[in-house]
């Protein structure tokens, strides 16, 4: 596949690194330092502005199977995408940071001709809102068009479920513990499996049923949320949560504060420095159920999260622009660190690999939602199907039931399988079942 990538920033460079060697990659970038860094890759580089038709012609974009507009400038991406399509690029994907350009995180078949428009900021805002609605969750995902929920929770030392067998938990009907991530390995549990401190547990159930687990896991209701930073993400989170919980938003820019106070109802806007200890004490940040740090500085988001937690805030969520910092933030004590660029990377890989199934990320692994359409596997038991290594079926959604799969479980047409695997196996899984 011939792929032209506009922009050698974090997303563009990561994509070029993953795709080099497997595909023909042409990378357009105007910054000399970024070009120098990319010269170590097996890619062809062109210096220039990707919105310039001459540069796109030099990249022979008309021969491209895929054009990716992922520079740090929305307007450059949008213009470059239109020109690339006009010149003959087969597929065009552009990233925009400003949510004003789109209404959804991922827009396919855009009226202006883009095949996919991705807004990472809006995607991150929606993810934060989901996490805020279920306080003890590390991740929250909606599956099967909202019919099913999947959450990941951490078993703590003082948790009620620590050192308990799953069969002793008396889980509600249609709720299953699909997988356990323990010491770097994925475990498909049985009723005899004992949960241990440090386990990351993936729970699947019909929408609305997971709230019944509040006595076992910390799914208690969120009442007080403090947001730091009134950029695109902070503002959208405030708007989406304002009718659901008590919101306090802290921003240092007086003009933004004035605009927010006039435009968003049910939100207390505080104008001040988020790292000012006296301000944090005055605003009783320690009483927050959740603090959400969305300033433009990764370092400030880390400091805000740790200060808030030290004062008593129950949960911290931080935006992290630099992807390599995510694990560092969580190791330092931030409950959840989110990188907005991850969604762009994931959607592009899906397009390149021809993946049609819904794919969610759960920690270090992908969860694929596959509908069984292949009559060759229907009526077969799971143990009779040749499933690739490192592929685990965590749950089966059948009509209104959420089933725990076993070797003797018989697969039926139109079953929805929740499959835990890596990128390399997703296409193989689709071939087997779809």
In which residue ranges of the chain is CATH 3.30.70.1450 found? Answer: 125-213, 356-433
At CB < 8 A and 24+ separation, what contacts does 395-398 make?
A: 395/176, 395/178, 395/204, 397/143, 397/144, 397/147, 397/148
In this predicted structure, the answer to whether residue 356 has a pLDDT above a threshold of 70 is no
Pick the CATH number of 2-118 from 3.40.50.720, 1.10.10.60, 3.10.129.10, 3.30.930.10: 3.40.50.720
Question: If residue 255 lies in a helix (H) or strand (E), which one and from where to where?
Answer: helix 254-263
Element (H, E) at 55: helix 53-58
Residue 24 pLDDT more than 90?
A: yes
For residue 23, give both structure tokens. Answer: 């595909």
Query: Which of 94-108, 260-274, 322-336, 394-408 bottoms out in mean pLDDT, i.e. has the lowest?
Result: 394-408
Say yes or no to pLDDT of 372 above 80.
Answer: yes
Using the predicted structure, report yes or no on whether residue 170 has a pLDDT greater than 90.
no
CA nearest neighbour of 336 among 369, 366, 294, 367:
294
Region(s) of the chain under CATH 3.40.50.720: 2-118, 224-337
Average pLDDT over the chain, rounded to an integer: 89
Residue 355 — very low, low, confident or very high, per pLDDT cuts 50/70/90? low
Tokens of 220: 């208690």
356-433: CATH, from 3.40.50.300, 3.40.1280.10, 3.30.70.1450, 3.40.50.200: 3.30.70.1450
Asked whether the beta carbons of 111 and 118 are under 8 A apart, the reply is no
Q: Which residues are bridge partners to 67 per DSSP?
A: 4, 92
Report the pLDDT value the prediction gives residue 141, as an integer from 0 to 100.
82
pTM for this structure? Answer: 0.81
Q: Give the SS3 label for residue 157.
A: coil
Q: In the predicted model, is pLDDT for residue 119 greater than 70?
A: yes
Task: Give the burial class of 179: count Cβ atoms within 10 A of its Cβ; 0-12 exposed, 13-18 middle, 19 or more buried.
Answer: buried
Q: Which fold has domain 224-337?
A: Rossmann fold (3.40.50)
* pLDDT value at residue 88: 96
For residue 364, pLDDT over 90 is answered with no
Write out pLDDT tens, residues 235-265: 999 998 988 899 999 999 999 999 888 888 8
pLDDT digits (tens, 9 = 90+) for 124-166: 998 899 888 777 788 888 777 777 788 888 898 888 899 999 9
Our measurement of the distance from residue 308's CA atom to the centroid of its chain's CA atoms, rounded to an integer in Å, reads 24
CA-closest candidate to residue 420, choices 199, 150, 179 = 179
- At the topology level of CATH, where does 125-213 sit? Alpha-Beta Plaits (3.30.70)
pLDDT band at residue 349, thresholds of 50, 70 and 90?
Answer: confident
Q: Among 87-101, 169-183, 269-283, which stretch is predicted with the lowest mean pLDDT?
A: 169-183
In the DSSP assignment, the letter for residue 71 is S
DSSP designation for 24: E
- pLDDT > 80? residue 79: yes
Lowest mean pLDDT among 199-208, 271-280, 303-312: 199-208
């Amino acid at each position: 596949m011939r792929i032209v990538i506009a922009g050698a920033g974090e997303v563009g460079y990561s994509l070029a690194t993953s795709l080099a060697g497997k595909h023909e990659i042409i990378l357009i970038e105007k910054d000399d330092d970024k070009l120098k860094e990319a010269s170590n890759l097996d890619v062809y580089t062109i210096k220039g502005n990707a919105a310039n038709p001459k540069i796109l012609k030099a990249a022979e974009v008309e021969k491209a199977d895929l054009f990716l507009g992922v520079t740090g400038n929305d307007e450059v991406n949008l213009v470059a995408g239109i020109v690339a399509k006009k010149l003959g690029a087969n597929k065009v994907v552009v990233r925009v940071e400003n949510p004003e350009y789109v209404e959804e995180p991922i827009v396919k078949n855009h009226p202006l001709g883009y095949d996919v428009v991705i807004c990472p900021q809006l995607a991150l805002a929606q993810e934060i809102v989901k996490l805020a609605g279920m306080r003890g969750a590390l991740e929250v995902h909606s599956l099967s068009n909202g019919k099913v929920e999947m959450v990941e929770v951490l078993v703590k030392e003082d948790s009620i479920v620590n050192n308990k067998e799953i069969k002793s938990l008396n889980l509600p009907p249609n709720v299953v513990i699909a997988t356990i991530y323990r010491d770097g390995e994925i475990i498909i549990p049985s009723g005899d499996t004992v949960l241990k401190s440090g386990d990351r547990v993936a729970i699947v159930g019909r929408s609305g049923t997971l709230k019944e687990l509040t006595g076992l896991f910390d799914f208690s209701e969120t009442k007080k949320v403090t947001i730091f930073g009134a950029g695109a993400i902070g503002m959208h989170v405030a708007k989406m949560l304002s009718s659901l919980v008590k919101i306090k938003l802290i921003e240092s820019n007086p003009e933004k504060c004035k605009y927010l106070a006039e435009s968003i109802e049910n939100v207390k806007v505080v104008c001040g420095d988020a790292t000012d200890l006296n301000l944090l004490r005055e605003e009783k940040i320690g009483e927050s159920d959740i603090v959400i740090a969305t300033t433009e500085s990764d370092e400030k988001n880390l400091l805000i999260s740790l200060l808030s937690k030290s004062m008593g805030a129950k949960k911290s969520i931080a935006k992290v622009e630099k992807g390599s910092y995510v694990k560092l933030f969580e190791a330092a004590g931030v409950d959840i660190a989110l990188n907005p660029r991850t969604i762009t990377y994931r959607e592009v890989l899906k397009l390149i690999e021809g993946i049609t199934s819904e794919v969610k990320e759960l920690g270090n692994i992908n969860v694929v939602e596959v509908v069984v359409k292949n009559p060759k596997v229907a009526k077969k038991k799971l143990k009779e199907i040749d499933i690739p290594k490192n592929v685990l079926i965590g749950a089966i959604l059948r009509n209104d039931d959420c089933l725990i799969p076993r070797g003797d479980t018989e697969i039926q047409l139109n079953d929805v399988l929740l499959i835990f695997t890596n990128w390399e196996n997703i296409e193989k899984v689709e071939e087997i079942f779809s």
